[in-house]
Chains A and B, each alone.
Chain A
Amino acid sequence: MATFKDFRNNVKPNWCPGCGDFSVQAAIQRAAANVGLEPENLAVISGIGCSGRISGYINSYGFHGIHGRCLPIAQGVKMANRDLTVIASGGDGDGFAIGMGHTIHAIRRNVNLTYIVMDNQIYGLTKGQTSPRSASGFKTKSTPQGSIEPAISPMEMALTAGATFVAQSFSTDLKDLTALIEAGIKHDGFSLINVFSPCVTYNKINTYDWFKENLTKLSGIEDYDPANRELAMQTLMKHDGLVTGLIYQNTEQKSYQELINGYSETPLAHADLKLDQVHFDKLAAEFM
């Protein structure tokens, strides 16, 4: 059986020292081993940006696509091979700006895959512009007077879009994060995990210390019930979205795969492509 070391490759990440993304990489590697995966049965599909490089830093199949499109690529992979474990990942710009349309629709489509967002509230790779997760008043190169747009609330948005698994974590909480990724992989449907992953180079506001001061663990809230969507929404609003842990899970809703009419039990990627003559003749006769 594979261990987390089997999910390490020999590529040195080009992230800045101290970047939150290192812990996310480690958590994915640990979670993959913990759920019993072999490296060849995992496909990590990533977007563009610093965090998008993650698919190249894990010893598994990896596809580093185009900006904002990791989710449709990942859904295509999963549709083609339902036996693969598919993780999509990218940054907050990738998922909540250029790729927001896909994020909302992937949530409501509920294809069985896990989406991990490395949320640093800034554009890092382009050297420090505002992101849809930046708070109002946030000063960057693109918002020298401070951002005049409010930040997106991705967790609330996911709940309203019909998400079946919503979680949030902080990159230094390696143990909690690993457990959430494992739960996401095991969830039969689309799992969204937003990870606060500080940018040590360009974001001097939302730092490690800032998160430590401002985050509330759901495990510490009395009677919190992740099966209660209304409570999840109230709790998020009360804490301005700054909570960590499993926010909401619906275990009743069937995944997209389970609901498709006639969808093959065996992976489509292994199908015999030849159409038989009798079947073809029947199809042709419909045009006569």
Chain B
Amino acid sequence: MINQLSWKVGGQQGEGIESTGEIFSIALNRLGYYLYGYRHFSSRIRGGHTNNKIRVSTHQVRSISDDLDILVAFDQETIDLNYQELHDGGIIIADAKFDPQKPEDTNASLYSIPFTSLATELGTSLMKNMIAVGSTCAVLNIDTELFREVVQEIFGRKGQSVVDRNMEAIKAGFDAMREALSGQTGIMELAKADGQKRLFMIGNDAIALGALSAGVRFMAAYPITPASEIMEYLIKKLPAVGGSVIQTEDEIAAVTMCIGANYAGVRALTASAGPGLSLKMEAIGLSGITETPLVIIDTQRGGPSTGLPTKQEQSDLMAMLYGTHGEIPKIVMAPSTVQEAFYDTAEAFNLAEEYQCPVIMLTDLQLSLGKQTVEPLDLSQVEIRRGKLFSDELPEIENKEYFKRYEVTEDGVSPRVIPGMKHGIHHVTGVEHEETGKPSESPANRKAQMDKRLRKIKNIRFNTPVYKNTPHEEADLLLVGFNSTRGAIEEAQERLEADGFKVNHAHIRLIHPFPAEELLPLVQSAKKVVVVENNATGQLANILKMNVGYAQKVHNHLKYDGNPFLPHEIHSACKELF
């Protein structure tokens, strides 16, 4: 009996690899298992190796596993590229069609199952993925009938006979594998899960749902990996609340349309990845100086330029902090789990309106696209706060003077009105301006307006700027990260603790303004600090050193080959430091 399992299915892109993983995962999620899936894919539509690695566990997991129990292969390339992840007792289940060969240097077992020919016998070779799912069920001793509900939902529209045939395919796969195992099933039997209903979603789903829950009614965006799912979800769901999405001609149109919509009083967002964010930089400055609320999601991927468009990286950090010319108030957030992505997205709209400034919410490809089990999300925790937005009638202003939209106030935040309000007329410009918005180059005014804007975010109220799992007052090691590295760091922390080290973990959720006060005592009380990040130059480590100091203690653990961190990599790198 095992508590967790690592399963990978691979083949050529466009061959149904994704649906194989999808059906397997949804069914297991409904049984109450926690899942964590990560897709390896290429920037092309058909052809090229793709795989979907899924971890199944009886407790929450937020990282890819180090090794592999079962590899399901639709071609030899899948075996050749992935067999080294298999541990000694691991198994390969491969389609007999390509006469699979087991590499010499592995102790894993190979089972050749006629996926394609069994599927063809049952009606269509397309069902080979169902045969593969069924074969896996035999290894795990999972009743194939548990898949009926999912199969019904997916194929129900195509008629009962299609549902029945797919169920037969799963059963045929189960029987063929049982025969290959000489009648034995459950050679890797999973411990029973708790049967609780939980969500199964990618980070981008949570972001889109969070935006909808926060009252977003407009989105403008340009398609880009790995952000497009956010737009696609809202295209489906916004009409039900009267809202709409415009797929724009380019990234600049997307961000400036959002600025226009926010100026006119609608909660609007745009989402993109590094190349898009580079193009949006000037407009982010416009949002900053005009104090127009703006929420942008940056789903980081491998850069620079087109870089590694379908691979994991966290290298946009400095660009998001300092990319815009000039100096503006800006908030940069970085949720580390899918749950946080939901609540933080909703909160981003409150912060954008309360502080009247751009809010960039960073994710990364692993967080945005990794499909995983998520505890139920609570709408009652989503607040809607609009800051100093006037909705009451305004007093008449004499002599056609403008409303003081940029009034210098103690907290720096000025009253805001939206077009259409009587007596609220004012000017908005990206040129430096005085309190009514009229252009002004006066040195005294320049200083007053700069100071006003920049002090808005000095005392920002942000719930949990740093996620902390810090059991030790004095630690041997403080592990620091942001976004999706949280799961791998958590597992490395557990293993280091088991080795006898005292390890604290801080995951930074608010990157700008930087929560230096929260981090300082943790850095001070640790012998060494290791900053784990998916980039080549240690951007987060540099920000930490810049704000907190103690540069001599801070070590980098970097990975920039396009793949997410595995727990064992962090574990061994940290051990080497002692």
Q: A76-B258, A77-B261, A79-B246 are in contact. Are A40 and B419 (CB under 8 A)?
A: yes
B429 interface neighbour in A56, A274, A277, Cβ under 8 Å:
A56
Q: A41-B420, A261-B239, A269-B420 are in contact. Are A275 and B425 (CB under 8 A)?
A: no
B438 interface neighbour in A11, A76, A269, Cβ under 8 Å:
A11
- Say if the beta carbon of A128 comes within 8 Å of chain B: no
* Residues of chain A with a CB closer than 8 A to B200's CB: 287-288
Q: A61-B425, A283-B237, A287-B199 are in contact. Are A76 and B400 (CB under 8 A)?
A: no
- Say if the beta carbon of B99 comes within 8 Å of chain A: no
Which residues 247-294 in B have Cβ within 8 Å of A in the complex? 248-250, 252-254, 256-268, 282-283, 286, 290
Nearest-CB residue, chain A, relative to B214: A273
* Residues of chain A with a CB closer than 8 A to B198's CB: 288
- Say if the beta carbon of B542 comes within 8 Å of chain A: no
Q: Mark A61-79, 1 if CB is under 8 A from B, else 0.
A: 1111110010111111111
Contact across chains for A81 and B265 when beta carbons are under 8 A apart: yes
Of B214, B218, B256, B377, most buried by chain A (CB within 10 Å of CB) is: B256
- Measured between alpha carbons, how far is A78 from B218 in the docked complex, in Å? 11
Contact across chains for A105 and B249 when beta carbons are under 8 A apart: yes
Contact across chains for A63 and B260 when beta carbons are under 8 A apart: yes
- Measured between alpha carbons, how far is A279 from B30 in the docked complex, in Å? 22
Q: A279-B240, A284-B376 are in contact. Are A64 and B431 (CB under 8 A)?
A: yes
Contact across chains for A64 and B427 when beta carbons are under 8 A apart: yes
- Say if the beta carbon of B454 comes within 8 Å of chain A: no
- Measured between alpha carbons, how far is A72 from B262 in the docked complex, in Å? 12
Query: B282 → chain A, closest Cβ, in Å?
Result: 6
- Measured between alpha carbons, how far is A169 from B189 in the docked complex, in Å? 80
* Residues of chain A with a CB closer than 8 A to B347's CB: none
- Measured between alpha carbons, how far is A277 from B376 in the docked complex, in Å? 13
- Say if the beta carbon of A263 comes within 8 Å of chain B: yes
Contact across chains for B431 and A40 when beta carbons are under 8 A apart: no
Of A64, A268, A271, most buried by chain B (CB within 10 Å of CB) is: A268
Which residues 389-420 in B have Cβ within 8 Å of A in the complex? 399-402, 418-420
- Say if the beta carbon of A228 comes within 8 Å of chain B: no
Contact across chains for B425 and A39 when beta carbons are under 8 A apart: yes
Query: B30 → chain A, closest Cβ, in Å?
Result: 7
State which of B156-164, B205-213, B490-498 sits at the interface with chain A.
Answer: B205-213
* Residues of chain B with a CB closer than 8 A to A72's CB: 220, 248, 252-254, 256-257, 260
- Say if the beta carbon of B379 comes within 8 Å of chain A: yes
* Residues of chain A with a CB closer than 8 A to B549's CB: none
- Measured between alpha carbons, how far is A12 from B283 in the docked complex, in Å? 28
Contact across chains for B248 and A43 when beta carbons are under 8 A apart: no
Nearest-CB residue, chain B, relative to A257: B244
- Say if the beta carbon of A262 comes within 8 Å of chain B: yes
Q: A76-B220, A268-B243 are in contact. Are A274 and B384 (CB under 8 A)?
A: yes
Q: Mark B37-59, 1 if CB is under 8 A from A, else 0.
A: 00000000000000000000000
A274 interface neighbour in B215, B218, B282, B376, Cβ under 8 Å:
B215
Contact across chains for A102 and B249 when beta carbons are under 8 A apart: yes
* Residues of chain B with a CB closer than 8 A to A265's CB: 242
* Residues of chain B with a CB closer than 8 A to A83's CB: 420
Of A8, A76, A274, A275, most buried by chain B (CB within 10 Å of CB) is: A76
- Say if the beta carbon of A201 comes within 8 Å of chain B: no
* Residues of chain A with a CB closer than 8 A to B377's CB: 284
Contact across chains for A59 and B400 when beta carbons are under 8 A apart: yes
Contact across chains for B384 and A273 when beta carbons are under 8 A apart: yes
Query: A98 → chain B, closest Cβ, in Å?
Result: 10
Nearest-CB residue, chain A, relative to B282: A66
* Residues of chain B with a CB closer than 8 A to A279's CB: 240-241
- Say if the beta carbon of B217 comes within 8 Å of chain A: yes
- Say if the beta carbon of B422 comes within 8 Å of chain A: yes
A81 interface neighbour in B238, B286, B400, B420, Cβ under 8 Å:
B420
Q: Would you give 27 A-B contacts (Cβ < 8 Å), ordered by A?
A: A38-B422, A40-B425, A55-B429, A56-B439, A63-B263, A64-B428, A64-B429, A72-B248, A74-B260, A76-B257, A76-B262, A76-B264, A79-B218, A79-B257, A80-B217, A101-B250, A261-B244, A262-B243, A262-B244, A263-B242, A264-B217, A264-B242, A271-B217, A271-B243, A274-B384, A288-B30, A288-B200
Instruction: State the B residues within 8 Å of A (CB).
Output: 29-30, 197-201, 205, 209, 212-215, 217-218, 220, 237-244, 246, 248-250, 252-254, 256-268, 282-283, 286, 290, 374, 376-377, 379-380, 382, 384, 399-402, 418-431, 438-439
Sorted nearest first, the 6 A-B pairs with minimum C-beta distance are A76-B260, A273-B215, A262-B239, A264-B242, A269-B265, A80-B264
Instruction: State the A residues within 8 Å of B (CB).
Output: 8-11, 38-41, 43, 45, 55-56, 59-66, 69, 71-81, 83-84, 101-102, 104-105, 109, 260-271, 273-275, 277, 279-280, 283-284, 287-288
